[in-house]
Amino acid sequence: MNLNRYDLISLRLFVGVVELGSLTLGAKEFGISLAAASKRISELEAHVGQVLLVRGKKGVVPSPAGQAMYRHSVELVGRLVQLSHAMEDFQRGAHGHLRIWANPSAFAHFLPHMVSLMARHHPQIRIELEDVLSHEAVRAVNSGGAELGVIAENTPTEGLQTVLCEEDELVLIAPAGHPLLGDQSVQLQDILAHELVGMNMSTSLMRQINGQASLSGQSARLKVQVRGFDTMCKMVAAGVGVAILPHLSALPLAPALGLGLKRIEGDWTQRRLYLALRDQNHLSSAARAFVGLMPWVPKAI
C-alpha cells in the first residue's frame, strides 16, 4: 500500500466524523462542503480497500476496519497537533508547551498548586489549561487535543493510562444553622430527604452520588443543576438547597458565603483524582516535567 497516498487532511476529517457521528457535522467543523467531505472519505476508503464508515439514519459509525483506522489516526493526528504547538512555542521564544484538560475538582486545589510548581521549576514551559468535565478530558487526551487530563476515578478511561493525583472526600455543604449541620452524624439518606443543588447527571460527581443512592433505592432530587462548584455554593447560600462537594473544593468557598461543612458517614465519600495520559513512556519533555513534580508519582516515572 502506497503510504504517500495517505492525506493528513482526510485523516483529520475522518477522526472528526467518527467522534461527531456525522459526516455533515464533520464537514461543518472543517469548513468544507458535505460533498467535499464525502469525496475525501470515499477516496480514503478506496485507498485502503475497506468500508470505513457505515451510514445510517442517525449518522455514521465506524466499521471494524474503521475502528482500527480511527485508533491509529487519533494517535497520528494527536502527534501532529503536538508538533504544531511545539513549533508555535519556539516561534514565541518558549521552550515547551503543555496542554492540560481537567475537571472542576482539579482546578479547585491540585492544579493551581502544580502550575505554581511548574512556574518555579520550569519557567520556560508554557501551560494551557481547559476547565472541562472528566469525560471531555478523556476524549481530548485520546484525540490529541490535550496531552494530559485530570479526571475522577469513576470515569471510563478508554484505554488511557492513569496516575493518582489527589485524594479527597465528599462533604455536605449547607447554610449556617441548617438542621443537617447539627451534632449528629449525617448519612446520605438524610441528605437525600432535602432538595439538592448539583451538577449535570453525566458528571463524575453526580454519578458517584447517584450510584450510592441507588443502593438504598433512592435518588437525588435536584432543585437546580449548575456547571461549577462556586455557583453551587452561591445557590446553597441563597437557600436553594444543600449540596455535596469535594472537601478541598468547598473549603475555600464556604466561609465567605456563610456556609457550613459536615462530614458524611461512609467509605463511599472517598474521591480520587487521576492524571490521564496515553503513554507515560512517550511523554513530551514538558509533560514529563509536570509528572515528575507530582508527589504521588514514583520517581521511576
In this structure, the strands spanning 259-263 and 161-175 are antiparallel
The CATH architecture one would assign to domain 76-165+272-292 is 3-Layer(aba) Sandwich (3.40)
Q: What's 240's DSSP letter? A: S
How far apart CA 83 and CA 70 sit, in angstroms, is 20
**Sequential pLDDT tens for the chain (301 residues):** 566 667 888 888 998 899 899 999 989 988 899 999 999 999 999 888 999 999 888 889 999 999 988 888 887 887 777 677 667 766 655 567 899 999 988 988 889 999 999 999 998 888 999 999 899 999 999 888 899 999 998 899 988 999 999 999 999 999 999 999 988 889 999 999 999 999 988 888 999 999 999 998 888 889 999 988 999 999 999 999 999 999 998 998 999 999 999 999 999 999 999 999 998 888 888 999 999 998 765 443 3
SS3 299: coil
Q: Which three cell numbers stand for residue 100?
A: 492540560
CATH code: domain 3-75 is: 1.10.10.10
Count of other CB atoms within 10 angstroms of residue 124 = 11
Q: How many CA atoms lie within 13 A of 197 on its CB side?
A: 23
Q: What's 267's DSSP letter? A: G
- By residue count, the chain amounts to 301
Contact 142, 281 (CB under 8 A): no
Domains of the chain, by residue range, sit at: 3-75, 76-165+272-292, 166-271
Amino acid symbol at 232: M
How far apart CA 208 and CA 230 sit, in angstroms, is 19
Contact 243, 186 (CB under 8 A): no
- Tell me if 3-75 shares its fold with 166-271: no
pTM: 0.66
Q: Which three cell numbers stand for residue 130?
A: 481547559
User: 166-271 sits in which CATH class?
Assistant: alpha beta
